[in-house]
């Protein structure tokens, strides 16, 4: 059996609403305020969201010190917000323990990167989808015109194609039915255009020119000649640009694994880098994978994290139609009106590792020790949590911990009717005096990153012997919540002397994760820490 190792956090960084970095995040937690602001994606609306505060240029100097001058500009041009947030959080995570950047690199394949996303890069994918749709419609309109399509001319003279869609000329100009019919009509006839067939044959001839058996400038010159040939062909025909030339390759450079891949590249980390995706449970799932890899001896350190794009109109609409988002222009705090949650974007990245191995190098753990992580699936419903599923994750995480030792518990709590059920089911597993926190009324709900923010807030508070305040008062508790007689952190915060803490996350699709942590024993840390000229870690 693999040796069970003690797991510590040796670096962390966040990008969150009103919090461009971990230091600001910590300062903001001192106050029982909401970090949400009005959503601007519809012009005016009744939605509040968590816009991440972030300037990628903050990290320009970091790149200039390590890479050729063009590197920062390339990333800035090609990467969307989701990837940039993750890069920023990773760079922050290297700052608490000087020297850890080169140490991670020295581990070779024993340093892994598990950084995922919940929603993917909606910003770029949506913009490119719109650009493609417009280009396709222009293309079909051109080639589906009667002068370029003999079958259409025959059909107009006397309907000869019974499969043809309805002629938009039969409908009211500008109506939705007319728009739909117009696009279907043009697409149908463009596909039958003999002129388009000739165009494509000419284009195929241009593209068929083989690339010469060389590299460098000759190869690039050949590729440019082909593109110039296509542009000249388009000018000859007077046609618009092809729809397959409309989409930027940035769509590919921002798929789900790219945040992890960019971290591996800028950190020169050669271990596996990929994106775990488990909706709201993602951060805990990534942490479980990291703990397992370390205990199996496959990794000594793992960069774990999650990143989400800024709030997007498509996502707001989907949440609204799922009946889980607040829409009354006010902050919806968990455990109170149960009016729904708020969409947020940003990132959270941790460096976790074999504590003894990293302390032997002089690196000091920050936050708390991770003592148990449990994961499970409900096998029940896509969005409504079951009772058994989350409890299975809790049971696995609490395997070596007595319920009476758990001082505080952070809820998933999305300000929906599920809050009351979550309290009821959690109390069946915990001591009745446990202190609950629920923070989505503060920074909103990042689809994948929310659990990371909540865990980081929990750790930052516990190492100082306190639970940061939450915008909540006793009189605001919903009747369905109040009936369970649980204890909650409110606007004044809560002092804690010691004990374990837990964090439950429940994701869309019925996936759950639970993380149990405890404060480090100072004597244990000092006895294992090599003091070889390393300054004390910041972030304590």
Q: What gap in Å lies between CA 140 and CA 181, rounded to an integer?
A: 13
Q: What gap in Å lies between CA 281 and CA 449, rounded to an integer?
A: 9
Q: Answer yes or no: do 405 and 518 share one domain.
A: yes
Composition of the chain by helix, strand, coil, percent to 5: 45, 15, 40
Choose between 196 and 220: higher pLDDT.
196
- What residues contact 345, with CB distance under 8 A and at least 6 apart? 50, 51, 52, 81, 82, 85, 308, 309, 310, 311, 446, 449
Q: Taking residues 416-422, what's their average pLDDT? A: 96
Q: Is residue 539 part of a domain?
A: no
Q: How many residues does the chain have?
A: 540
Q: What gap in Å lies between CA 63 and CA 73, rounded to an integer?
A: 10
CB-CB contact of 408 with 435 (8 Å)? yes
pLDDT classification of 531: cutoffs 50, 70, 90: low
CB-CB contact of 349 with 92 (8 Å)? yes
The answer to whether residue 41 scores a pLDDT higher than 80 is yes
Cα Rg, the chain, nearest whole Å: 28
Q: Residue 122 has what pLDDT?
A: 94
CB-CB contact of 457 with 29 (8 Å)? yes
The answer to whether residue 23 scores a pLDDT higher than 50 is yes
Select from 101, 137, 117, 127 the least CA-distant residue to 41. Answer: 127
Which residues in 313-336 are b (16+ Cβ under 10 Å) and which e? Answer: eebbeebbeeebbbbeeebbbbbb
DSSP state of 272: -
pLDDT classification of 333: cutoffs 50, 70, 90: very high
Q: Taking residues 344-358, what's their average pLDDT? A: 98
Q: Answer yes or no: do 326 and 468 share one domain.
A: yes
pLDDT classification of 372: cutoffs 50, 70, 90: very high
**Of 245, 276, 297, which closes a domain?**
245
**Of 189, 216, 245, which closes a domain?**
245
Q: Is residue 212 part of a domain?
A: yes
> Mean pLDDT of all residues in the chain?
95
Q: Residue 215 has what pLDDT?
A: 64
Q: Enter the tokens of residue 389.
A: 């599923």
Q: Is residue 250 part of a domain?
A: no
Q: Answer yes or no: do 116 and 157 share one domain.
A: no
Q: Is residue 465 part of a domain?
A: yes
Is 488 strand, coil or helix?
strand
Q: Enter the tokens of residue 51.
A: 């816009």
Q: What gap in Å lies between CA 445 and CA 224, rounded to an integer?
A: 46
Q: Residue 92 has what pLDDT?
A: 98
Q: Answer yes or no: do 346 and 450 share one domain.
A: yes
Q: Answer yes or no: do 178 and 298 share one domain.
A: no
- 270 by Cβ neighbours in 10 Å (0-12 / 13-18 / 19+) ranks as middle
Angle of helix 313-321 versus helix 122-143 axis, rounded to 10:
100
**Would you give the distance in Å from CA 331 to the centre of its chain?**
22
Summarised one tens digit per residue, pLDDT across range 437-471 is 999 999 999 999 999 999 999 999 999 999 999 99
Angle of helix 282-295 versus helix 450-462 axis, rounded to 10:
70
Q: Answer yes or no: do 416 and 329 share one domain.
A: yes
Q: Answer yes or no: do 451 and 516 share one domain.
A: yes
Give the angle subtended at the CA of 449 by the CAs of 446 and 454, to the nearest 5°: 95
Q: Answer yes or no: do 199 and 261 share one domain.
A: no
pLDDT classification of 4: cutoffs 50, 70, 90: confident
Give the CATH number of the domain where residue 82 resides.
3.40.47.10
Q: Taking residues 36-62, what's their average pLDDT? A: 97
Query: Which residues form the domain of 185?
Result: 125-245
What percent of the chain stands above pLDDT 70? 97
Q: Answer yes or no: do 419 and 520 share one domain.
A: yes
The answer to whether residue 537 scores a pLDDT higher than 60 is no
Q: Residue 223 has what pLDDT?
A: 84
Q: Residue 219 has what pLDDT?
A: 75
**Of 245, 269, 293, which closes a domain?**
245
The answer to whether residue 488 scores a pLDDT higher than 80 is yes
pLDDT classification of 532: cutoffs 50, 70, 90: very low
Select from 117, 115, 125 the least CA-distant residue to 90. Answer: 115
Q: Residue 415 has what pLDDT?
A: 97
Q: Answer yes or no: do 102 and 138 share one domain.
A: no
Q: How many CB atoms lie within 10 A of CB 262?
A: 23
Q: What Cα–Cα distance (Å) separates residue 423 from each residue in 281, 296, 417, 442?
A: 18, 35, 11, 19
Summarised one tens digit per residue, pLDDT across range 248-306 is 999 999 999 999 999 999 999 999 999 999 999 999 999 999 999 999 999 999 999 99
Taking the alpha carbons at both ends of the chain, their separation in whole angstroms is 34
pTM here is: 0.95
H runs (alpha helix) in 268-374: 282-295, 313-321, 355-359
Q: Answer yes or no: do 68 and 93 share one domain.
A: yes
Q: Is residue 24 part of a domain?
A: yes
Q: Answer yes or no: do 88 and 66 share one domain.
A: yes
Select from 420, 410, 387 the least CA-distant residue to 510. Answer: 387
- 350 by Cβ neighbours in 10 Å (0-12 / 13-18 / 19+) ranks as buried
- Least confidently predicted of 209-213, 310-314, 328-332: 209-213
Q: Residue 358 has what pLDDT?
A: 98
Q: What gap in Å lies between CA 134 and CA 409, rounded to an integer?
A: 50
Q: What gap in Å lies between CA 6 and CA 51, rounded to an integer?
A: 36
Summarised one tens digit per residue, pLDDT across range 59-109 is 999 999 999 999 999 999 999 999 999 999 999 999 999 999 999 999 999
Question: How many domains would you assign to the chain?
Answer: 2
The answer to whether residue 175 scores a pLDDT higher than 90 is yes
Q: Is residue 439 part of a domain?
A: yes
Q: How many CB atoms lie within 10 A of CB 76?
A: 14
Q: Is residue 534 part of a domain?
A: no
Q: Is residue 1 part of a domain?
A: no
């Amino acid at each position: 059996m693999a040796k069970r190792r003690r797991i510590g956090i040796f670096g962390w960084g966040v990008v969150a609403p009103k919090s461009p970095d971990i230091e600001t995040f910590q300062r903001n937690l001192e106050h029982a305020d909401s970090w949400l602001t009005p959503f601007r994606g519809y012009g005016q609306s009744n939605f509040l969201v968590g816009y991440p505060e972030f300037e990628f240029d903050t990290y320009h100097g970091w790149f200039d010190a390590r890479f050729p001058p063009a590197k920062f500009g390339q990333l800035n041009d090609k990467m969307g917000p989701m990837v940039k947030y993750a890069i920023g959080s990773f760079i922050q995570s290297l700052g608490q323990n000087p020297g850890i950047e080169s140490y991670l690199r020295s581990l070779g394949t024993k340093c892994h990167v598990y950084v995922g996303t919940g929603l993917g890069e909606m910003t770029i994918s949506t913009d490119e989808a719109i650009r493609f749709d417009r280009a396709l419609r222009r293309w079909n309109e051109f080639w589906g015109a009667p002068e370029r399509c003999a079958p259409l001319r025959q059909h107009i003279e006397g309907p000869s194609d019974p499969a043809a869609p309805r002629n938009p000329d039969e409908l009211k100009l500008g109506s939705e039915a007319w728009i739909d019919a117009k696009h279907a009509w043009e697409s149908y006839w463009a596909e039958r255009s003999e002129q388009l067939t000739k165009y494509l044959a000419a284009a195929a001839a241009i593209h068929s020119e083989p690339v010469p058996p060389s590299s460098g400038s000759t190869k690039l010159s050949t590729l440019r000649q082909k593109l110039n040939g296509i542009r000249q062909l388009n000018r000859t025909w007077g046609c618009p640009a092809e729809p397959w030339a409309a989409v930027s390759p940035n769509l590919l450079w921002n798929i789900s694994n790219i945040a992890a891949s960019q971290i591996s590249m800028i950190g020169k980390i050669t271990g596996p880098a990929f994106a775990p995706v488990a909706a709201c449970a993602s951060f805990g799932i990534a942490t479980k994978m990291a703990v397992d890899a370390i205990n199996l001896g496959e990794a000594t350190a793992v960069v774990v994290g999650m990143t989400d794009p800024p709030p997007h109109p498509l996502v707001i609409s989907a949440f609204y139609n799922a009946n889980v988002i607040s829409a009354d222009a006010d902050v919806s705090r968990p455990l109170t009106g149960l009016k729904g949650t708020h969409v947020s974007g940003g990132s959270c990245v941790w460096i976790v590792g074999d504590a003894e191995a990293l302390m032997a190098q002089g690196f000091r753990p920050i936050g708390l020790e991770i003592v148990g992580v449990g994961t499970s699936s409900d096998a029940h419903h896509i969005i409504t949590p079951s009772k058994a599923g989350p409890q299975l994750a809790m049971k696995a995480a609490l395997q070596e911990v007595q319920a009476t030792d758990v001082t505080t518990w952070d809820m998933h709590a999305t300000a929906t009717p599920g809050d009351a059920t979550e309290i009821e089911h959690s109390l069946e597993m915990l001591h009745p005096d446990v202190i609950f926190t629920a923070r989505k009324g503060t920074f909103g709900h990042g689809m994948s990153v929310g659990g990371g923010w909540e865990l980081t807030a929990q750790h930052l508070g516990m190492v100082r012997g306190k639970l940061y305040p939450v915008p909540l008062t006793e009189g605001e508790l919903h009747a369905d919540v109040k009936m369970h007689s649980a204890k909650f952190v409110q606007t004044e915060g809560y002092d804690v002397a010691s004990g374990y803490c837990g964090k439950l996350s429940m994701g869309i699709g019925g996936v759950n994760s639970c993380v149990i942590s405890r404060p480090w024993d100072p004597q244990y840390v000092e006895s294992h820490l090599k003091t070889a000229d390393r300054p004390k870690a910041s972030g304590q």
